[in-house]
Structure 1
Amino acid sequence: MTTEAGEHRLEFLDQTAFELMRATGRGQLMQCVWVYEHPVDFEGLKRFHRNFAESHGGRHIERSVLPFGRPRWVKPGHAPSEIQISDTTRPRNELMDWADELASLPIDPEHGPTWYLVVQPLTDGATAISMVGSHVIGDGFGAGLAIFEAVTGNVRDAGYDRPGERTRRQALASDIRQVARDLPETGRAFVKGVKLVYGKRRELAQSRKTRAAARGGPGEQLVAVPSIAVFVDVDEWDKQAESIGGNSYSLLVGFTARMAERLGRRRQSDGAVTLVIAINLRESLEDDRALAMAFANATVDPEKVTTDLSQARTVVRQARQSAKDHPDPTLELLPLMPWLPKPAVKGVAELLFAYSEDLPVSCSNLGDLPPQLAQVDGTSAEYVFVRALDQNVTLQEMQRSHGQLVVVSARINGKVVISVEAYEIGAENSKPRLRDLARQTLAEFGLNGVVD
């Protein structure tokens, strides 16, 4: 894809994520939580807040003046939201409840705010700090880079315009030139899209019937998706991984596969677990994509991973390499996104992100994070975790995807941190149950950990 220098257009995948959010009302969020057991330096926290507002994490989306044009990245048109500091304390055992509640904050990648920084004193004397923001603005690695820059004070100037900085004539001329550049790619995507729609016409017709039958019914009610955080000492984690023929990543895969089994996400055909693994494609600081990633599909046998990780290690390595060498062909349809009316966007989502009987499980590994990411006030927090969150999830969506399991992990402050977000159709969907399942899974691997 070719874009005009200085226009900072959204890549097609980024625009697709934005349009899907608008069409479905479901928001994909990211959250980082720091727990300080020593006094917080609020001057340092304010400095971080100012710096983050100037980073890529503080940017907004400006729509094209053309209904079928490409949006672009811009600086925010107003000051960021203030740091929100609670004047009441909460018990430590309500940490995850408090973190969940922040998903209800109004977050909008176009009009703002795109992110919030919130402080919650705890009754045991600790302080929890949370940053929550739109996944449409950046992926896990992009968010981590923005936090790193804000902590260190080395914030890049991407050269974004302010919203409305172009005159209407300038905007029209630039956006029309971009449409012309995109036409060959759009034409190829149209041909492939027609073939794909024809090939999946029966599935799409059934999906439309299902949506129509559920409209206005109980399926449209919102559901809460429980989420927990697990902390394991890095040395213990690595020792266990090595003892059963794996490494840190394959042990995460094994943990995820066992959690999937406990949550009823094994394939009926062969009992295996299908993992969808996010792969980072960001290779330079000049890459300002929000979602610089590919997705690899890996098949794991959950019966073997507690005693032998060698197969899981090989499968994941091969799947990651295959995803890099052979990108998903359905992504070639993304150039169609600017031309689609809103009612058609959900249909494209079904083509791109088809709900599968394989019961896929999302597994993201951020790896070793720099220690600065734990220093949101300039000092190191005792506990840090990152996770994915969802806004406005309906029962119908959970039913169509046969539930959900999302696992995000990172290594920071001497801990392997694993966030688990899960929903099982027809089961008790609560944090206590999810914590019990996580403890059972840790025990299977001979691991001790703190489960919040």
Structure 2
Amino acid sequence: MTDRLAYIDQATFLSMQATGRSQLVQYVWVYTHPVDMAGLRRLHRNVGYGFAGRLIEPSILPFGRHRWVAATGPATPLDVEPARPPGELGGWLDERSQLRVDPVHGPGWHLGVLPMTDGTTAVTLVASHCLLDHGASVRTLVDAIGGARRDLGYRLPRSRTRRAALASDARQVARDLPDFARTVVTAAKYAHRSRASISESRAAGTPAAPDGPDGPVVLPTVSAVVEAAEWDSRAGELGGTGYSLLAGFGAVLGERMGRARPSDGAVTLLIALSDRGGDDDHRGNAMQIATATVNPTGATADLTNARTAVREALSAVREGHDDKHELLPITPFVPVRAVRRTAEVIFGDLPVSCSNLGDVPTEMARADGTDAQFMLFRPVDQGVTRAALERAGGQLVVAAGRIAGSVSLNVVAYEVGAANTREWLAEHVVRALTDFGLKGTVI
């Protein structure tokens, strides 16, 4: 077992440092029957082990690999709020998503409960994406709900002397140099193949700064729960699969929010593909990114093109034809100020992040030991500013997972010049679902 961060985790952490923006995972359970508070307290005691029972200790060297250190047990007290009307659920979830989470100093996660005046109860867990992705979250939550506490064997923070840390980190840098050298060659080849895209990105220039005042922004987030049988049936009728239906949905939303390419009207989808191994894979983020180009025109009536685009993109990653992942060993040596520009070159302008979480274990829907009515998967952020969003041309993230007979569809969006309210986004989501012949419960 190694306590060094994998290259992908180092890249995730450096991106947070470079932008001041933290990516989070937020899980939500909504109960329409009385919640078992003893079960929720048990979950709270158990979550802080395994992937969630750790923090990041930065290297003493500016270009060194960081380490995982132990931070087991409850990170903060269990927060039980005074009752609110059910119409305030969305606002409360936004509030919880913005409570401080810090993968270095802690807390790395927090858990809150909201009783509502109609007898419904909501529970939400928010955690740093630097510590755990969806696959790691599944392991952590299934263990916690089942009463298991996984010990990954990390040292306590600051357990090394400065001299020992310096020597150890320097040795690690020396061991990493062959990977670095090979990656430089790969990066040069990638840049040569991508020179047209790079030139096009540079020619586009930096978007003008926003006219209005800058300030922190909580991105509007909307969830829709669709019956899984209805989702699958509609996908089949349109010549696609559940995966390509999500891709088509993301492309249609992307076009309506100004994220289509002017040259051909296509939308670029960044699809996270898990490559997590067995129990010894302790990466916080174990994934590769597939890039699919989907034309939204006609997608609501025929998913054939979307299905082909997604299949080819996933195959390119699985067969090793997409080498973006091979650039990761260079990450510790990339200056922080260059991280954002590197991402723009690799992934292109105005992409849509489109994550299919697949079949989520039914046990995960039992936060208190009983089945929740709904479970939501919200890909949220902290530290977002209006100026940064508008310089980037906005944002659109679509994530979906199947659990307990439902598809949980979750959308986070910001469009330059739009209203950017929950009501505005809900209208977009409902309209897109309707265009695909679907309906769902919007939360």
Mark yes or no: TM-score above 0.5: yes
Q: Is there any run of 5+ residues in structure 1 with no aligned partner, and where? A: 1-5
1:167–1:204: structure 2 CA closer, same or farther, 3 Å change rule?
farther
Q: Is the CA contact (8 Å cut-off) linking 1:219 and 1:394 kept in structure 2?
A: no
1:95–1:354: structure 2 CA closer, same or farther, 3 Å change rule?
farther
Q: How does 1:218-233 map to 2 (within 5 A)?
A: 220-233=214-227
Provide the rounded CA distance (Å) in 1 between the counterparts of 2:121 and 2:426: 22
Q: Is the CA contact (8 Å cut-off) linking 1:267 and 1:357 kept in structure 2?
A: no
1:275–1:298: structure 2 CA closer, same or farther, 3 Å change rule?
same
Shift of residue 317 of structure 1? 1.2
Provide the rounded CA distance (Å) in 2 between the counterparts of 1:251 and 1:204: 29
Alignment partner for residue 123 of structure 2, among 129, 144, 147?
129
String of CA shifts for 1:241-291, please: whole Å, max 9, x gaps.
Answer: 111211211111122222222222221111122111110111212111111
Shift of residue 300 of structure 1? 1.4
Whether 1:246 and 2:240 are equivalent positions in the alignment is: yes
**What corresponds to 2:228 in structure 1?**
234
Q: Is the CA contact (8 Å cut-off) linking 2:53 and 2:72 kept in structure 1?
A: no
Shift of residue 301 of structure 1? 2.0
Q: Which amino acid aligns with 2:383?
A: N
Q: Is the CA contact (8 Å cut-off) linking 1:356 and 1:401 kept in structure 2?
A: no
SS at match of 2:17: helix
Whether 1:383 and 2:349 are equivalent positions in the alignment is: no
- The aligned length equals 440
Shift of residue 16 of structure 1? 1.6
Q: Is the CA contact (8 Å cut-off) linking 1:15 and 1:71 kept in structure 2?
A: yes
More displaced stretch, 355-364 vs 176-185: 355-364
Provide the rounded CA distance (Å) in 2 between the counterparts of 1:388 and 1:8: 26
1:204–1:439: structure 2 CA closer, same or farther, 3 Å change rule?
closer
SS at match of 1:354: helix
Provide the rounded CA distance (Å) in 1 between the counterparts of 2:198 and 2:313: 29
Alignment partner for residue 291 of structure 2, among 297, 300, 310?
297
Whether 1:359 and 2:350 are equivalent positions in the alignment is: yes
Q: Is the CA contact (8 Å cut-off) linking 2:109 and 2:125 kept in structure 1?
A: yes
Q: Which amino acid aligns with 1:56?
A: F
1:327–1:396: structure 2 CA closer, same or farther, 3 Å change rule?
farther
More displaced stretch, 318-327 vs 23-32: 318-327
Alignment partner for residue 56 of structure 1, among 47, 51, 55?
51
Shift of residue 202 of structure 1? 7.4
SS at match of 2:42: helix
Q: Which amino acid aligns with 1:397?
A: A
Provide the rounded CA distance (Å) in 1 between the counterparts of 2:431 and 2:275: 34
Alignment partner for residue 417 of structure 1, among 378, 398, 408?
408
1:72–1:401: structure 2 CA closer, same or farther, 3 Å change rule?
same
1:25–1:70: structure 2 CA closer, same or farther, 3 Å change rule?
same
Whether 1:325 and 2:316 are equivalent positions in the alignment is: no
Provide the rounded CA distance (Å) in 1 between the counterparts of 2:435 and 2:187: 46
SS at match of 1:47: helix
Shift of residue 294 of structure 1? 0.8
**What corresponds to 1:256 in structure 2?**
250
String of CA shifts for 1:6-28, please: whole Å, max 9, x gaps.
Answer: 44210112112112212321111
Q: Which amino acid aligns with 2:11?
A: T
**What corresponds to 2:17 in structure 1?**
22
Q: Is the CA contact (8 Å cut-off) linking 2:252 and 2:296 kept in structure 1?
A: yes
Q: Which amino acid aligns with 1:291?
A: N
More displaced stretch, 60-69 vs 174-183: 60-69
Whether 1:38 and 2:29 are equivalent positions in the alignment is: no
Q: Is the CA contact (8 Å cut-off) linking 1:355 and 1:400 kept in structure 2?
A: no
1:245–1:330: structure 2 CA closer, same or farther, 3 Å change rule?
closer
Provide the rounded CA distance (Å) in 1 between the counterparts of 2:188 and 2:219: 36
**What corresponds to 2:91 in structure 1?**
97
**What corresponds to 1:3 in structure 2?**
none
Alignment partner for residue 156 of structure 2, among 146, 162, 180?
162
Alignment partner for residue 263 of structure 2, among 269, 272, 276?
269
Could you tell me the TM-score, scaled by structure 2's length? Answer: 0.91
Shift of residue 77 of structure 1? 7.2
Provide the rounded CA distance (Å) in 2 between the counterparts of 1:380 and 1:264: 39
More displaced stretch, 112-121 vs 161-170: 161-170
Provide the rounded CA distance (Å) in 2 between the counterparts of 1:18 and 1:183: 20
More displaced stretch, 117-126 vs 90-99: 90-99
Q: Is the CA contact (8 Å cut-off) linking 1:27 and 1:134 kept in structure 2?
A: yes
Identity over the aligned pairs, expressed in percent? Answer: 45
Whether 1:405 and 2:396 are equivalent positions in the alignment is: yes
Alignment partner for residue 75 of structure 2, among 62, 80, 96?
80
Q: Is there any run of 5+ residues in structure 2 with no aligned partner, and where? A: none
More displaced stretch, 66-75 vs 231-240: 66-75
More displaced stretch, 41-50 vs 61-70: 61-70
**What corresponds to 1:349 in structure 2?**
340
Alignment partner for residue 174 of structure 2, among 170, 180, 183?
180
1:180–1:226: structure 2 CA closer, same or farther, 3 Å change rule?
same
String of CA shifts for 1:41-99, please: whole Å, max 9, x gaps.
Answer: 1111111112111221221111223333211111117852110111x222212211111
SS at match of 1:427: coil
Shift of residue 218 of structure 1? 5.5
**Alpha-carbon RMSD:** 2.6
**What corresponds to 2:100 in structure 1?**
106
Q: Is the CA contact (8 Å cut-off) linking 1:69 and 1:176 kept in structure 2?
A: yes
Q: Is the CA contact (8 Å cut-off) linking 1:254 and 1:309 kept in structure 2?
A: yes
Alignment partner for residue 429 of structure 1, among 420, 438, 441?
420
String of CA shifts for 1:356-385, please: whole Å, max 9, x gaps.
Answer: 775211100011111111101111111110
Whether 1:335 and 2:329 are equivalent positions in the alignment is: yes
Q: Is the CA contact (8 Å cut-off) linking 1:20 and 1:346 kept in structure 2?
A: no
